[in-house]
Structure 1
Amino acid sequence: MTLIVCVCDYWQRRHFYDQSPIQPTSKTGTSQNGSVRRLRLQLDAITANYWLRELLQQEVLRRRLQCDHGVQLLWLSLHPPECGTIDYKWADMLAHTIWEHIEVEHLMSWLSTLGGGFSALGEQFERCAQTAGKISLQQLNIGLRLGDPFLQARCKLYYSISLIQRGHLRHAKQLIRAQYQFAMKHKEHDQRLVRMCLGIWLRLRFEYEERRGRQLN
């Protein structure tokens, strides 16, 4: 026999838990014709939330209600609480998370500007290309921390530009191909990533052609 929990909300809508809903009787107690013994509690919504969580998680509590009190249907009738409650701990955690996200976005903007400058200088100076690559790796670490796969893919593409500038064409080719496969799987979500892959691939092809020309000469 399963204990059925019914939550009756402010609009008299009924939400059943544990198994398919059954038709409760209007009387409390178990009759000989098989009617269900119902325990009805009128609770404010906040207290009822704690009740429901305990009932769904604590098997011992459900067994005590069934075996010791013969309850088969627990009916929780909700009414608005007299005053709202504020979860200050959760609010502090949320505020900290939001502020951290804002600071990270601000940092990413600065790193993108700085990385773009070093990347431009990397066309002439290998040391600047190395610095641009280090900045891209720092951005990648932030992307990993945020759990954003699209940001991670863009950072890897930025790093591939540094590899191309330093002559590591094979490594760059593998990196661009991997990000292009990811971009094509999610092209409906981020078309810009696809265009980035294609643009950097053209740059890679140009570097290969330049290398072949120098070898022939």
Structure 2
Amino acid sequence: MSEPLVVCVCDYWQRCHFHNRPSREAGDSSRESKSLRRMCIQVDAINGNYYLREFLQQKELALRLKRQHGVQLVWLSFEPPKRDTVDYRFADILAHTLWEHIEVEHLMSWLSTLGGGFSALGEQFERCAETAGKISLQQLKIGLRLGDPFLQARCKLYFSISLIQRGQLRAAKHLIREQYAFARSNAEKDVRLVRMCLGIWQRLSYEYEQRQMRKKCN
């Protein structure tokens, strides 16, 4: 079986990168003195990458170069392109992604303001507490879309406040414990999340105390 075609890429800084170069065995000095017939191609780096892929993957091309032209080494000398190319398709995808994140952050700000207002009214009106919970669930959907686990945890804590205001203390307790376990495992990344869990837990404890006092009075 014949040896594969050796390809050398010479970059902008005249550094050589060889492909398919046979390994030298210890004590074998015959390869050092043996010269290879080369085919030199000077091409810009953009097209040069396509050339390199063809020479490495197209075995029939390499075989024809060796048999018909006696080429043993392809020397690709890269030079800077005359004009930089822009991947407009990828640029459009990136611009759309950035625009989407900006709009989502803007929407999250509005929902946080709106949810905070309804949560404050939820101390007196159960309907407002329920609306604040629905807003928190909408924020959670956005957090799931963004793939941000810390944002998702904060939204769940917002929802737990709504549960506390509506008297669903047991459901709120389990939800807060889950987020506190997550916050403790990532305390170095988000210390505020740990403090947020502790603050809401104190509010939950207060509601439990008030419930016990009402039971004793009755």
Quickly name the TM-score band, shorter chain normalised: 0.7 to 0.9
Percent of aligned positions that are identical: 69
Query: How far does residue 181 in structure 1 lie from its aligned partner after superposition?
Result: 1.3
Please state if 1:8 is matched with 2:10.
yes
Unaligned stretches of 5+ residues in structure 1: 24-30
Deviation per residue, 1:16-35 (Å, 9 max, x gap): 56x89968xxxxxxx8x887
Quickly say closer, same or farther: Cα 1:216–1:96, change in 2 above 3 A: same
Amino acid in structure 2 at the alignment position of 1:64: E
Which residue number corresponds to residue 84 of structure 1?
A: 84
Contact 2:42 2:78 in 1 (8 A): yes
The structure-2 alpha-carbon separation of the partners of 1:142 and 1:65, relative to structure 1 and needing over 3 Å to count, comes to same
TM-score normalised by L of structure 1: 0.80
Query: How far did residue 44 of structure 1 move?
Result: 0.8
Superposition deviation, residue 146 in structure 1: 0.9
Cα distance in 2 for partners of 1:74, 1:185 equals 55
Mark the CA change 1:50 to 1:206 in structure 2 (over 3 Å): closer, same or farther: farther
**Aligned counterparts of 1:215 and 1:54: Cα–Cα separation in 2:** 82
CA offsets 1:85-107 (integer angstroms, 9 cap, x no match):
12222222211111111111111
CA RMSD of aligned residues (A): 2.8
The Cα offsets for residues 43-88 of structure 1, whole Å up to 9 and x where unpaired, read as 21111233456677xx5x2x33454444776543211001111222
Aligned to 1:42: 42
CA deviation string 1:156-178 (max 9, x = no partner): 11111111111111111111111
CA separation in 1, counterparts of 2:108 and 2:52? 44
- 1:64 maps to 2:60: yes
Count of residue correspondences: 204
Aligned letter for 1:133?
G
Q: 1:165 to 1:36 in 2, by over 3 A?
A: farther
The match for 2:113 is 113
Task: Find the residue that maps to 1:187 and give its secondary structure.
Answer: coil
Q: Which piece of structure 1 moves more, 121-130 or 2-11?
A: 2-11
Secondary structure in structure 2 of the residue aligned to 1:78:
strand
CA distance in structure 1 between the aligned counterparts of 2:206 and 2:54, rounded to whole angstroms: 65
Report if aligned partners of 1:66, 1:72 keep a CA contact under 8 Å in 2.
Answer: no
Structure 2: runs of 5+ lacking an equivalent: 25-30
TM-score, normalising length from structure 2?
0.80
Structure-2 separation of matches of 1:5 and 1:209: 78
> Which residue matches 1:26?
none
Task: State the distance in 2 between where 1:173 and 1:5 align.
Answer: 66
Q: Cα distance 1:139–1:49, how it changes in 2: closer, same or farther (>3 A)? A: farther
Structure 1 equivalent of residue 169 of structure 2: 169
Which residues of 2 match residues 118-197 of structure 1 at below 5 A?
118-197=118-197
CA distance in 1, matches of 2:5, 2:178: 53
